[in-house]
Structures are given as structure tokens and as C-alpha cells.
Structure 1
Amino acid sequence: MTTVPSPHTTTPLEPIFDGAHLVKAVASAIVRLSQQAGPQEGVYDAVVQSTYNQLVLLCLQKQRTPPASVPDMARWAATRSIGDTRWPWTLPEDFDGTVTLVDAQTATPTQQCMEWQVAAANVAAEQVENQLMLTAIATCQNAGAPESYTAFRRLLITRPVLTQAQRAALADDLDLELLRDLIHRCYEPAPASYLRDGAYAVCARCGCLLVPIGRDRYVCELDRCRRDQHPRVGATLDARQGGGVYQLTRPMRMFITGPGLAETDLEEALVQRGLRPQMWPNFDAYDLRIEFPRGRVWAIDVKDRANPALLGRSTAPLRPDPPYNAGFLVVPHYRFDEREDYPRVYAHHRPDTAAEVDLLSDTALLARVDQELDRAGTRRRAADNRGGARA
């Protein structure tokens, strides 16, 4: 068990962090702990140990009772919201203090925790998942194969879970052949914690594995599905057949699959309106490019983030190539339902350099698309064409 450092014996050569810096550090430590294969018998890597020490020192400085050990810090993260006054830190203004860093039901990091971790500059640069995506882009760019990158993104969005047979069958997909080894690195064996009666259950809505709770309940890890208290099982996969089951790593499910579903939902809605959106143009310069009948072009980047302040702080101008007339940052509407102040908090934390990127919900964006099509006089014709095709 890790011992509590004494303020008299610890050499405080580093400053004692407070506020957002310490929340980021604790979130990063929690994510690292979740990635360990098993109990470490009180031996933790330097990041986890340093974070625990920092937390204890701030508790002692502010005359609060510190966590007794690293596991106790993890228990705090599951049982105390980040705004709980028993944490020693002071949260920045308008940050949501009602959330926890660990899901008490699944004992895994929450999406808020993952977002805090990504916001930690010293961690984001070393994320394996980020490096995998950059490697995919570079590989496809060097080969002049944008279709391979598009197929890769669709795979991560639409098939977050694969059986061994399905994984092997990807070898026959010519568009994915260029990234075959990289794809294998994106998927990991599904852990036994997702099993019930020897089988894995797949969420009918997002395609991710459901987490069994108790004897007969399941929950989905993605926020977009989590709002439904009774997720529907789309399929069950026998763990004993077919050579095993694989799933995308947790950060990729949260930051690629989750927002990717919002991207493809938008794509489908735009196609129904008679448009032909280009997905992830110029190797992911942004997510969707729409060209309207009168020649105007919109660039759209989609994010499904729980924390509008962290989203605002990380927002940057959209890349200019391929060119566009207007750029939008789009968030699923349910985020606005959850937090009425989502746009205001985002705008408060967004840097001035990204001021030209308007934040909209997906429903608000589609309403603007309809207005643009009405001005072009093409909306009615698109609807008539769809009706004729159905007939």
C-alpha cells in the first residue's frame, strides 16, 4: 500500500498544483490505472505516484483529510463528484462540478475523466490512440490513398467490435489493405468483465460492447446511449467460438466511434436532402464538406464532448484546405439538452483565434441547411425525387 507523504519528509521541489491542473493530473492517473492489466501490489508508475503525492500535499496544505492510498484516490473518484468540497482543489468558473471521474457502476473512467485527461498537455502528446490516427493519415497521404483513410474511419465508427473471423476477413478489403497492421493495433481482446454467461452483448445503437450490471442489467459506455436506462441488445457473441472477440480501445470508442456516429448521422441526413457530403476531406482536415447548388461550401467539424469548457479551450480554427465559405463546430443536440448553458460556457473558454467557428447543435445545423436549400430552390425537388424513388 502506498504511504501518505509527510510534508516534512517530501522534497517539495515541484509546485503544489491546484484547480484544473490537479484535476487533469488525477484524471490522467485514473486512466493509467484503468489500463493496468491487474493489481500492482502498491507499485505504480511515476505519473500515478506523483499525482497521488500532489493530491496529498494539497490536502495537507488546505487542512483536508487526504486519501490513504492510490486505491483510495480511485475510490474518491468514483464516490465524489469533482465539485465535492472534500477534494482540495478549487474548480475553474462554470465547470460542471456534478460529475465523477470514475463510473461507480462499471468502475471505469467516465467520458468527463477521459476529456480531462486529453486536456492535460503532457499526456495528450503521448496518447497511443492519437499516434495511431496520425500514423494512418501519414500512411495514406504517402500512398496517395484518401479512400483508404475514409474506409479506415468508417471501420472504427461502424464496427467497434469484431470477432476473430471478422477481423481476419478485413484482409480481403482492398481499401483497408494499406492499414492492416495498424488496424490490428487499434483493437484489443475484449476483457472478461464484459462477459455474462459466456457471451458478450453488443449495443444495438452504437455497436459497442455493453457492460453487464448485476444479474440482468446492461449499460452502454457511450454517453449518447447511456441516457437510455434500458439499452437494447443487438447481438450476442459467444466468447468460446470463433477465436475470440475484439473491441477498439476505450479512448478510440469514446473519441472516434462516439462522435463518428454523429458524423455519419449528419451524412445520412444531408444525403436525404439531395446533397453529397464529402467525409473527412483532405485526410481529415475536418469531418464533412458540403457544396450547395449555388456553389457555397460549408466545412463542419463534429465533436461529442461532455465538457463545453474543455471543448472551448481546445478549439482551433478549421484547416483551410479544402477551402470553404463558412465553418461550423457541431455538437449532438442531446448535449444542449443536458446543459442549457453549453453554448455560453463554450464561448467563454474558446480562444479568440477560433472565433469564426460557429458552434451549433446537429439539429440547428440541419435547419440552416434547409434554409440554404430553400434559397437555392432545390429542397422541394430533392423531396420530390425521394418520393419518386420510393414509388
Structure 2
Amino acid sequence: MKITKHRQKILDALERWFRIHQQGPTLNELCQELGKPPSQKATVQKWLQTMRDIDVQWEDHSPRSLRLLRSKSETPSLQISVTDTLRYLATGMVQWETLELEKRSHVPEALRIGMSRMYLTSLLQKEQAPENLPEFFNWAETSVISWKPAQEIKYLSPDVKVIEDGVVSDFAREWQVSGNDVVAQVQESVLKDVLEYCRGNQLGDAYRAFRLLIIPKPTLHYSEYRQQLRLPELRPLRELLSRLEIYVDMDKLAEDSIYHLCPRCKYVQRQRPDGTYTCRNPWCERLCAISNLQPLPPIPKEKAADWKAVTPGVHLYGTLPGIWEIQLKEELTKLGLHITLWPFIDEFDLLVEFPRKVRWAIDLKDWSSLDEERLRKVQYRRDATETFVVFPDEREEILRIKVVRKQLEPELEGVRLCLFSEIITEAQAILEKKK
């Protein structure tokens, strides 16, 4: 068949679709993938007819039966992040090495998850992968890119191994994640991947657009998800985001008969044993009660497959902290101030610019306990008039900022501690004085 530009566009659109979904798209969804309005459905259908039995196939009168036809030499698109798989393997290997000899028959959770993902990825691509521990350890002493899916990771040296000279390699130690919840930590690592990529390529606007997607929209319908990815600001990140596990099918997070979203953070709630629903973040649940936020419309199970949601780790480390940052930005903007979120590609949270070259650098911390060591890591900005660490007023009862700052601030080299309401009041006072 002649390779027309329409045929290639449809093939590319379907490849993107099947990276995320098991079932085929409807005609409306395919139009959205192609960037075509619904009025052009008939045109797209004609294009599909010319490709039928050659590139694609479907069952008449059967929804979502559209599928790609591949030759035996072609492989299905990867649906599991290779980067995350290597992080699980690296973390599991470091954990395994620290075990006492008599306990090494116990496989750490991270290594078990990594091996399962490695095997499934290879199965999808019809490649070979270790099926048991002895086979895995044999592979670990060879080049990482001898596992063909790993070759998709750019700049990965062919000399890199998981085990070198009988010990865990520097590569594994660099790629391991730390923390009590290894799944959440691996999921958080994708946020660091995006940050490092944007810093390395000076993509400040793209990074800001990414944060403004995962914070207010941790769950969204697939059609909106595709529209967001087509935004010009996110174009430089499309390839990277397609390789990272940031959004997954919502029905993979829980098998519920109906799905409820938290009124505050808009994320999928958990079902309690008594049948009621609660946010996965207990603090969020309390804030919903304080603000008397009303429940959002539920999503029926039959529609859940058409919704996307960020992974729990991205929600915990990306969505929840960002809610306060955006809220503070909105409150300060109402005063007529110019606010930049995550300036210099996330060196801090907010840059606040007043008239006459007064500039504030703000880091917003939604902490459940006051960590002095982490506080000392906040650097005083010499390019700003003031540097603040701001806490939500709702945390004052636990953190007692008004009391402890007298003892802490002298050790913070000029960094000041404030509550949300205090920073608003101080900004208002400066503006009144300048008038």
C-alpha cells in the first residue's frame, strides 16, 4: 500500500494510543488523537477503510475493536517504564546486599517487583529475560543494555552493569531510591527525571506547564489528557512523558464499583470497610471537613477506563505540595503582585515581585512536623530582598511557628519563617506603604 501522510498519521496515533490502552479507540477518540474535529469522522473512517486488512482491522458493529496488524518482526509498544524497572532492580540489589548471609534467600520487595516488570516487558516485546534468581544474577554481571528494552535509555554506557567484581555496582547505587515505601519512592523519581531533563535543556515553561497539569488535574478524562499533551508548552516533554509512568488508567488504582474523587485534591479516594470513601491523604480529609467542601460527582465503573490518574507517588510528592503553592500564588496575585511559580526551574517555589525592585523568594512547606535539618537546606537568596519559608495556617497548632521561629531563625542565615496568612498581611503592608 502506498504510504500516504494520512496513513502514517493514523499509524502514529494508534501507536500512541496502544502505549496506554489495551482496547482500541472509538472513532471520536481517534479524531482527538489526530487533532481532528468530530465533524471529520467520516473522512477519518474513509482513511481507515483504505488501511483495513493491511495495517488495521476491526469487527463491524463492535465498539473498541480497532487494532493494529503487525508482522511477526514487529513488536508491540512498550507499556512499562524501563527506567522505573531498572530503579526497582537497583534498589532491590542494594537491599539484598545488605542482608545477612542466612537471610539472602528472602527476595526484597523492590527486587521482586523489578524482576516481574522486567519479565513482563520482555514478554510484551518477545525478548528473553531472567525467569529466576540464578538467571537474574547471571544477567546482572553482564551489560545492562544486553537486556534490549534498556537500549531505549539514552546515553546508557554499554559498560554499565548491576554487579561488578562480585559487588553491587556504582550504577545500581546511583539508581536506587531510598525510603520506607519503595513503590512511592520510585514513582516520585519520575518527578526528578522531568526536573533534571528540564534543567538540562533549559525548559522552564515546559516544566511549569507540567506542574500545572499534575497539581490541579491529578485525574482527568482521557480526551482532556490528550488535549493537555498537545499544548505547545508541553511539546518539548511529549517524548519524555510517554516513557515515564506519570498517569495510569484510573481503574488500575482500585477495583471499585464507583469511583469518588477528593473534593480538595481531586484524586481517587479509598473505600473504607464500612463502604464510605476517604482521601488517601488524611490531612486532605481534615481540610475538606474544615472548609466544608462538597462531594464531587462520582465516576461509574463502566466509564473509569476512560479516565487517567497520576500514580500515588506522583500524587503524594507532586500534587499535594503544589496545591498550597498555587493557592498562595493566587492570593498574592489578587494584590496586584507579579508571581512566578517554580522560578529558575524549581530552585524555589514562588518569586514575588513588588514595585521598586522588591523581590521575595518563597519556599512553601506543608509539613506534619518541623524538621530542622531540612529547614537548614533552604538557602538564603542573595538575588532577593527577603527569603521565606511559608507554612499553611492549618499546621500552626502542630508546628507552633510563631513560637519556635525565635529560636530557629538565628540559625537559618537570614531565612524567615512565616504562616500563609502572615505573608499575605506583610505583602499588603508593603503595598500600602509604597502608595
| TM-score of the superposed pair, with normalisation by structure 2 | 0.53
Amino acid at match of 1:238: P
Residue matched to 2:50: none
Counterpart of 2:195 in structure 1: which amino acid? I
Residues 100-143 of structure 1 show CA distances to partners (whole Å, capped at 9, x for unaligned) of xxxxxxxxxxxxxxxxxxxxx9716x943454233323333444
Kindly tell me: are residues 182 and 122 of structure 1, through their superposed partners in 2, closer, same or farther at Cα, counting changes over 3 Å? closer
Matches within 5 A, 1:38-49: none
Indicate which of 168, 188, 191 corresponds to 2:226.
Answer: 168
Q: Deviations over 1:29-66 (max 9, x none)?
A: xxxxxx9xxxxxxxx9678889999xxxxxxxxxxxxx
> Do the aligned partners of 1:328 and 1:358 also contact (CA within 8 Å) in 2?
yes
Give the C-alpha shift of residue 348 in structure 1: 6.7
Shift of 1:359: 1.5
1:317 to 2:395 alignment: no
How big is the shift at 1:334?
Answer: 0.5
1:346-361 superposed matches below 5 A: 352=411, 354-361=412-419
Cα offset, 1:179, TM superposition: 1.6
Q: Cα 1:256–1:348, aligned 2, differ >3 Å: closer, same or farther?
A: farther
* Number of corresponding residues: 266
Task: Give the match for residue 123 of structure 1.
Answer: 178
Cα distance change on mapping 1:272 and 1:225 into 2, 3 Å: same
User: Following the alignment from structure 2 to structure 1, what is the Cα–Cα distance between the partners of residues 271 and 304?
Assistant: 22
CA displacement at 1:155 relative to structure 2 = 0.7
Q: CA deviation at 1:152?
A: 0.6
Deviation of the 1:208 alpha carbon: 1.2
**Structure 1 Cα separation of the partners of residues 98 and 270 of structure 2:** 29
Match of 1:364 in 2: 422
Does the residue aligned with 2:298 lie in a helix, a strand or coil? strand
In structure 2, C-alpha distance between the alignment counterparts of 1:325 and 1:140, rounded to whole Å: 27
Equivalent residue letter for 2:213 = L
The correspondence for 2:396, drawn from 332, 336, 341, is 336
The 1-side partners of 2:293 and 2:255 are apart by 16
1:320, distance to aligned residue in structure 2 (A): 3.9
Establish whether residue 261 from structure 1 lines up as the match of residue 316 from structure 2. no
Give the equivalent residue in structure 1 for 2:335.
273
8 Å CA contact retained: 1:314, 1:350? no
Deviation of the 1:364 alpha carbon: 1.1
**Equivalent pair of 1:164/1:242 in contact (CA under 8 Å):** no
1:302 Cα deviation (Å)? Answer: 0.9
1:234 aligns with 2:234: no
Q: Which residue of 2 aligns with 1:204?
A: 263
Q: Please, which of 281, 288, 298 is the counterpart of residue 360 of structure 2?
A: 298
Contact 2:364 2:391 in 1 (8 A): yes
Which amino acid in structure 2 is aligned with residue 357 of structure 1?
V
Opposite residue 178 of structure 2, the aligned amino acid is: V
- Percent identity between the two aligned chains: 23
Please, which of 328, 336, 351 is the counterpart of residue 289 of structure 1?
351
Task: Give the Cα separation in 2 of the matches to 1:152 and 1:319.
Answer: 27
Greater per-residue helix proportion: 2
Report how far residue 324 of structure 1 moved. 0.6
Name stretches of at least 5 consecutive residues in structure 2 with no aligned partner. 1-83, 85-90, 101-107, 109-175
User: What does residue range 1-391 of structure 1 map to in structure 2 within 5 Å?
Assistant: 123=178, 127-184=185-242, 185=244, 186-190=246-250, 194-197=254-257, 199-227=258-286, 228-229=288-289, 232-241=294-303, 243-309=305-371, 312-313=373-374, 315-318=376-379, 320=381, 323-337=383-397, 339=398, 341-342=400-401, 352=411, 354-377=412-435
Looking at structure 2, the residues matched to 361 and 123 of structure 1 have their Cα atoms a distance apart, in angstroms, of 30
User: 1:206-229 deviations in whole A, cap 9, x for unaligned?
Assistant: 211122224552211234422145
Distance change >3 Å, CA 366–CA 243, structure 1 → 2? same
SS state at 2:302 partner: coil
Q: 1:182 to 1:359 in 2, by over 3 A?
A: farther
Deviations 1:9-30 (A, max 9, x none): xxxxxxxxxxxxxxxxxxxxxx
Preserved CA contact (<8 Å) 1:301 1:328: yes
- Structure 2 residue identity aligned to 1:252: V
- The answer as to whether partners of 2:251 and 2:305 remain within 8 angstroms in 1 is no
Task: Give the aligned CA root-mean-square deviation in angstroms.
Answer: 3.7
Q: Confirm or deny: 8 A CA contact 1:289 1:297 kept in the other structure.
A: yes
Offset, 1:308: 1.1
Gaps of at least 5 residues in structure 1 are 1-34, 36-43, 54-69, 71-120, 378-391
Mapped contact 1:315–1:351 kept (Cα < 8 A): no
Match of 1:135, as an amino acid?
D
Distance 2:186 2:269 in 1: 24
State the alpha-carbon separation in 2 of the partners of residues 306 and 242 from structure 1.
Answer: 33
| AA aligned opposite 2:197 | T
Question: Could you tell me how far apart the structure 2 residues matched to 1:350 and 1:219 are?
Answer: 37
**Quick check: 170-179 or 230-239, which moved more?**
230-239
What CA distance in whole angstroms lies between the structure 1 residues aligned with 2:177 and 2:256? 38
Q: In structure 1, what residue type is equivalent to 2:420? A: D
